[in-house]
Structure 1
Amino acid sequence: MTTALDDIAFLANSENRVAVLRTLAEAPASHDEIRDRIGASRVTTARILREFEDREWITRSGQECTITPAGEWVCDEFTRLLDEIAAERRLRKPLQWLPSDLLTFDVRRLRDAEVVVLEESDATAIIRRILEYRRSSDRIRGVTRMVAPVFIENDWESTVHGDTRLEQVITPGVLDTIRNHSTAAKQLREMLDETDVHVSVYADIPISVGIYDAAVGIDLTDEEGVVKAGLVTEDETVREWAVDLFERCRDEARPVDPDEITADH
């Protein structure tokens, strides 16, 4: 007696079987048409069709094969499972750097997220992607535990010389980094003179997250704080999580006083 696991294994162990079932889910087809579509031999195709007919997943009338409602059901659910496993495999490595205690949403909400992985051959990929979002956004909100002068320069251009609204919560360490970079310090002072720029300091930021209009960017770091990957998503649930994290940190933060930023270090 076969079990449900036997039927799953029956499909999973043969790409040709999956291809035949998907082909018939699109439209009825003859033995020869199916063989041509999947690139299998006549014998293999005939065996698969016979096995499907035994399971009542297809019916045959002469040469024409038609999927049954049960076969469509199996095809839909098996395809869904394949898609979910493919999404999990794509996110498996990046998710190891997303602290589980911060996950107040179902991790499956990230299934369609863009993954930017830090590669030794291209260490600036994440920075470039973040900059693309910052440059194209009318409103930027976020919490950050790290900074690069290029981000300050970009935000200075988009706020002092543009009309982007910026609300940023940074750690004391980030503020010190800015203070010790003369150009960045000068640019931040000028930014703080803008009505639509609000920068505050909070020590206990758990993760760097940016909210760029409808998109959310999440920086993933290892235990030593080294950036390993980034996730970008427009999922509304993840966005709500990011906004809540930002607002909680902002409410506990203190505004940065322009007088505490000097450009003469």
Structure 2
Amino acid sequence: MNRVLEEMEFLARSANRGDVLTALTDAPHDRQALAAETGASQPTLGRILRDFEDRDWVRETDDGYTATATGRLVAAGLTELSDSLAAELHLREISEWLPADDLGFDLRRLGEATITTPTQTRPSAPVGRVIDLIEAADHVRILSHAFNEATLAAVVEWVADGGTFEGVFSAAAIEAVADEAALGEQLRRLQASEGATIRIVEESVPLAVTVADDTVSLLLRDEQGRLQAAVDTDDPEVTEWATDLHGRYWADARPIADSDTDTFGDTP
């Protein structure tokens, strides 16, 4: 293990080392091409290449320097670590609210995601971000344990303007909406719309996922249920995961019924 740590330290001491090894993994380079791509000086490149040759990570060919099989192995690990650390840094401030056990994709896929958090002047900014994505889309799917007032109102108007909506909600989420007279009326309007289909699952739903065309948004809450962030991305792997997840819940859900949207005041 000590030798492994020594090699990690060797690579970490100079950003140029990683850049050079990655470049030589992509294609053979001579020193001039390496200098142009990495910004390293010729004396620095000389030292790096000698060190790499001593480790059998690179060799010189007629086409220039190129990475060996073990050099490519090291470069792949270095790239993976770099991507992991970049994603971790990007997600660090919201990491405690990420439902990692329920996310069926590599978290590195969120390394360039848009993160929207509440502010003092815009406490509902995460919901606003999701609504913006909905209003810019043609087709929206939602899987969620909640249907908040702002999103419900936006979806009702958006569907009236021609959008198509497929929502899967927990029974508890629909009950909470139906128990509020004004929200229940909005829900009935949505239920009656030609462009909207709503289904219900009896069990709890651990996530709040919106798929607006090809963009996925996750609403993150803390243990007390307070909204902490919206995270959205158009990464294809995340979009595929979210679409499949919605489809699995959709297949097990039942259509919403008139009785689901009755408020307590409507029932004897």
TM-score by length of 1: 0.73
Local SS of the residue matching 1:111: helix
Instruction: Find the counterpart in structure 2 of residue 239 from structure 1.
Output: 243
Q: Distance in 1 between matches of 2:77 and 2:100?
A: 29
In structure 2, distance between residues paired with 1:223 and 1:73: 41
Equivalence for 1:112: 109
- Counterpart contact for 1:201–1:254, Cα < 8 Å: no
After TM superposition, give the deviation of residue 251 of structure 1 in Å: 4.4
Shift of 1:127: 2.0
- Please identify, of 11-20 and 165-174, the stretch whose mean Cα deviation from structure 2 is larger: 165-174
254 and 85 in structure 1: CA distance in 2 versus 1, 3 angstrom threshold: farther
1:69-148 alignment to 2 at 5 Å? 69-70=68-69, 71-99=71-99, 102-103=102-103, 105=104, 107-108=105-106, 110-113=107-110, 114-120=113-119, 122-135=122-135, 136-148=137-149
Cα distance in structure 2, aligned partners of 1:179 and 1:211: 27
- Cα pair distance change 1:246/1:120, threshold 3 Å: farther
C-alpha displacement of 1:226: 1.0
In structure 1, the residue matched to 2:186 is 187
What is the Cα-based RMSD across aligned positions, in Å?
3.8
Aligned partners of 2:220 and 2:228 also within 8 Å: yes
In the alignment, the residues of structure 2 paired with residue 60 and residue 190 of structure 1 have an alpha-carbon distance, to the nearest angstrom, of 71
- Cα-to-partner distance string for 1:116-160 (whole Å, 9 max, x where unaligned): 2414265444223312332313243322325033x2222112333
Describe the shift of the 1:189–1:241 C-alpha distance in structure 2 as closer, same or farther (beyond 3 A): closer
Compared with structure 1, are the counterparts of its residues 59 and 199 closer, same or farther at alpha carbon in structure 2 (3 Å cutoff)?
closer
Q: What's the offset of the Cα at 1:90?
A: 2.9
Partner of 2:206: helix, strand, or coil? coil
**Unaligned regions of 5+ residues in structure 1, if any?**
none
For residue 29 of structure 1, what is the amino acid of its counterpart? D
SS at 1:28 equivalent: coil
Q: Is the 8 A contact 1:167 1:198 kept in 2?
A: yes
Confirm or deny: 8 A CA contact 2:171 2:203 kept in the other structure. Answer: yes
Deviations 1:30-76 (A, max 9, x none): 2x5544554445543332222122122233589x9512423344323
**2:140–2:210 contact (8 Å) kept in structure 1:** no
Identity %: 25
Amino acid at match of 2:54: D
CA drift of 1:222 comes to 0.6
Pairwise CA distance, 1:161: 4.1
Q: Which residue of 1 aligns with 2:28?
A: 27
Q: Which 5+ residue runs of structure 2 have no aligned equivalent?
A: none
Matches within 5 A, 1:1-265: 3-25=3-25, 26-30=27-31, 34-35=34-35, 37-60=37-60, 65-70=64-69, 71-99=71-99, 102-103=102-103, 105=104, 107-108=105-106, 110-113=107-110, 114-120=113-119, 122-135=122-135, 136-149=137-150, 151-169=151-169, 172=172, 175-176=175-176, 180=180, 182=182, 184-195=183-194, 196-198=196-198, 200=200, 204-233=204-233, 234-235=236-237, 236-245=240-249, 247-248=251-252, 250-251=253-254, 256-260=259-263
CA 1:49 to 1:198, structure 2 compared with 1: closer, same or farther past 3 Å? Answer: closer
Partners in 1 of 2:67 and 2:189 — Cα distance? 69
Tell me: CA distance 1:174–1:227, structure 2 relative to 1, closer, same or farther (3 Å): farther
Q: 1:212 to 1:255 in 2, by over 3 A?
A: farther
